[in-house]
């Protein structure tokens, strides 16, 4: 039976093609592969399911064992967030023309290139940096790439990063940097959750390639000393890599305004479903400096003219800097990253505009304040644990209850509690990181507080 995904199954068509090639069978075409390297037999896979209905029932049957956040009340964040996804974003990023495109480039994919350039263009206004690249895989890999670039640009082999770092980020840095770069963590202040500036001043020296700082940090705290930290880095000839959650940038100072050399963060809050982490996309911004751009392998698109007066064309900015050309001689890895999410984020920012981004940011600050204060009013709970201001996350610490037991009890009541920090930050004791966004209503937060109160009682 011909498979619906494969044309050219009809024997007469195959015969015609084989005759044209001048061979008897497809087997003849595999002559270059020595027989001892040939796999003998049939692959040990389950039998195929060519019927779409049966396939669908089977896969859906497996997936229905998941409980999506939309069926419960979830307060998980820690690098991936349940935000509103405008319907228009979903419509644009399901267009088959975009979804199934790849490298039709200047003349085949004019529209895709314009959309990606537009992402760079509008996102640059949000972060106030002159150059924005096609995003990397996620925030962690974007930060790691810029730290590596700093090492390449300065020739120094030490970087300073906050100790208030997500475990994922720490492990990405471990793999990507630590084999030949010393990664030193700067402690946070126990009361505020902010970077200990005295410790930073003590640690920095002329051997430091870059200082990394982010807001909010892994404790949910807005690192409002970021501008000072950038200055300290620059005083020592180090570069400043500044991470920022874009959902706060309608109200918070932008990385560009703080003097960042590189800006990084995740686009996921801007119109991407979480998809078990598959919605992440790590933006990168930098100065319009040819040497800095040269150190980054990710694509950048540039606007140019065409033979037709007044028409825009778009193409790869300095393609020769990418790993496709430099290969093993001094280029980080580039290639396929997360272009579809860049197009989506451009649409999201276009939809929201300056006013929508301000309202989003203010609303996050307000809900977080409300939720943290309400939870903090429960007996046996400290929330927010740190006095530094929160954008959309805050740490909750229980006096007596362990986080896993509380989470289990909440789960039974249809609530996913905050992320358990006992592995990431054992020094914080019975703590968890809670995220509140514009998807949460007052009723949601009140229900959480009531339920948590019952569980802790």
Partner 1 sequence: MSPQFQQARWSEPLLSELGTPGERGYVPTAPEAEIAAHAPDPLTAIPPAFRRSAPPRLPQVAQPQLLRHFYRLSQETLGNDVAVDFGLGTCTMKYSPKVNEHLVRMPEVQDLHPAQHEDTVQGILEVLWRLEQMLCAISGLDRFTLQPPSGSAAVYTNASIVRAYHASRGEGEQRDEIISSVFSHPCDQSGPWSAGFQVVELYPGPNGYPELDALKAALSNRTAGIVITNPEDTGIYNPHIAEFTRLVHEAGGLCVYDQANANGILGIARAREAGFDLCHFNMHKTFSSPHNGMGPAMGASGVKEELARFLPAPVVERRGDRFELDWNRPDSIGKIRSFVGNAQIAVRSYAWILALGPDGIREVAETAVLNANYLATRLREVPGMSQPYPTSNTPIEQFRWSLEALREETGVGSADISRNLADYGFQPVFGSHHPFIVPEPLTPEASESFSKEDIDRWADAMIDIAKRAQADADDVLEGPYRNACRRIDAAALDDPERWVPTSRVERAKGAVKGD
Q: Which of residues 120-149 bind partner 1 (CB under 8 A)?
A: 120-122, 124-126, 128-132, 134, 137-141, 148
- Residue of the chain from 11, 43, 400, 426 that contacts partner 1 (CB under 8 A): 43
- Starting at the edge strand found earlier in the chain, the sheet holding 131-132 runs 131-132, 282-286, 262-266, 239-244, 210-215, 158-162, 182-186
Task: State both tokens at 39.
Answer: 């796999």
Q: Please, which of residues 84-103 interact with partner 1 by CB under 8 A? A: 84, 86, 88, 90-92, 94-103
**Residue 450 in contact with partner 1, rule: CB under 8 A:** no
Q: Please, which of residues 211-240 interact with partner 1 by CB under 8 A? A: 222, 224, 226-227
The nearer residue to partner 1, 205 or 336, going by C-beta atoms, is 336
- Residue of the chain from 11, 155, 179, 427 that contacts partner 1 (CB under 8 A): 179
From 184-192, 202-210, 279-287, 447-455, give the range in contact with partner 1 by CB under 8 A: 279-287
From 197-205, 236-244, 366-374, 447-455, give the range in contact with partner 1 by CB under 8 A: 366-374
Q: How would you classify the pairing of strands 282-286 and 431-435?
A: unpaired
Q: How would you classify the pairing of strands 381-382 and 131-132?
A: unpaired
The nearer residue to partner 1, 196 or 285, going by C-beta atoms, is 285
Contacts of 323 (CB under 8 A, 6+ apart): 297, 331, 332, 333, 334, 335
CB of residue 245 to partner 1, shortest distance in Å = 13
Distance CA 318, CA 308 (A): 23
Task: State both tokens at 178.
Answer: 């630590």
Q: Please, which of residues 391-410 interact with partner 1 by CB under 8 A? A: 407-408
- Residue of the chain from 234, 323, 413, 447 that contacts partner 1 (CB under 8 A): 323
Q: Please, which of residues 187-216 interact with partner 1 by CB under 8 A? A: none
Contacts of 133 (CB under 8 A, 6+ apart): 120, 283, 284, 285, 286, 296, 298, 299, 300
Distance CA 246, CA 266 (A): 7
CB of residue 156 to partner 1, shortest distance in Å = 16
The nearer residue to partner 1, 303 or 401, going by C-beta atoms, is 303
**Residue 108 in contact with partner 1, rule: CB under 8 A:** yes
Preceding amide of 137 cis, omega within 30: no
- Residue of the chain from 184, 198, 201, 306 that contacts partner 1 (CB under 8 A): 306
Task: State both tokens at 235.
Answer: 């005083």
- Residue of the chain from 76, 165, 240, 244 that contacts partner 1 (CB under 8 A): 76
Distance CA 12, CA 17 (A): 9
The nearer residue to partner 1, 101 or 382, going by C-beta atoms, is 101
Distance CA 262, CA 285 (A): 6
- Residue of the chain from 237, 257, 405, 454 that contacts partner 1 (CB under 8 A): 257
Among 223, 194, 203, 216, CA closest to 393: 216
């Amino acid at each position: 039976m011909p498979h619906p995904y494969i044309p050219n199954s009809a024997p007469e068509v195959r015969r015609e093609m084989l005759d044209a090639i001048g061979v008897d069978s497809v087997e003849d075409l595999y002559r270059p592969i020595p027989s001892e390297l040939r796999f003998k037999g049939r692959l040990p896979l389950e039998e195929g399911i060519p019927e779409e209905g049966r396939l669908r029932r089977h896969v859906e049957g497996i997936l229905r064992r998941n409980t999506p956040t939309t069926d419960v009340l979830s307060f998980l964040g820690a690098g991936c967030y349940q935000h509103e996804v405008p319907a228009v974003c979903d419509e644009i990023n399901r267009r088959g023309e975009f979804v199934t495109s790849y490298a039709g480039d200047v003349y085949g994919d004019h529209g895709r290139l314009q959309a990606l350039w537009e992402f760079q263009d509008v996102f640059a206004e949000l972060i106030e940096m002159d150059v924005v690249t096609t995003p990397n895989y996620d925030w962690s890999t974007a930060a790691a790439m810029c730290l590596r670039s700093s090492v390449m640009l300065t020739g120094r082999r030490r970087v300073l990063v906050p100790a208030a770092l997500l475990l994922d980020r720490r492990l990405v840095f471990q793999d990507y940097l630590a084999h030949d770069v010393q990664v030193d963590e700067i402690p946070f202040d126990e009361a505020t959750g902010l970077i200990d500036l005295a410790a930073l001043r003590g640690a920095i020296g002329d051997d430091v390639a870059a200082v990394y700082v982010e807001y909010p940090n892994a404790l949910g705290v807005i690192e409002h000393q970021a501008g000072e930290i950038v200055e300290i880095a620059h005083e020592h000839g180090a570069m400043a890599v500044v991470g920022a959650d874009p959902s706060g940038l309608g109200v918070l100072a932008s990385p560009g305004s703080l003097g960042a050399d590189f800006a990084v963060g995740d686009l996921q809050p801007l119109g991407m479903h979480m998809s078990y982490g598959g919605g992440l996309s790590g933006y990168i911004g930098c100065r319009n400096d040819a040497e800095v751009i040269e150190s980054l392998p990710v694509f950048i698109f540039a606007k140019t003219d065409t033979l037709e007066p007044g028409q825009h064309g778009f193409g790869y900015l300095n393609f020769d800097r990418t790993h496709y050309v430099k290969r093993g001689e001094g280029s980080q890895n580039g290639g396929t990253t997360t272009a579809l999410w860049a197009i989506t984020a451009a649409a999201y920012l276009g939809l929201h505009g300056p006013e929508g981004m301000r309202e989003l940011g203010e609303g996050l600050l307000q809900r977080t304040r409300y939720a943290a204060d309400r939870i903090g009013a429960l007996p046996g709970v400290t929330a927010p644990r740190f006095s530094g201001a929160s954008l959309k996350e805050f740490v909750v610490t229980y006096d007596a209850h362990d986080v896993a037991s509380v989470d289990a009890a909440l789960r039974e009541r249809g609530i996913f509690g905050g992320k358990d920090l006992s592995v990431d930050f054992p020094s914080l004791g019975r703590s968890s990181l809670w995220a509140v966004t514009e998807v949460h209503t007052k009723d949601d937060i009140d229900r959480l507080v009531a339920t948590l109160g019952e569980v802790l009682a």
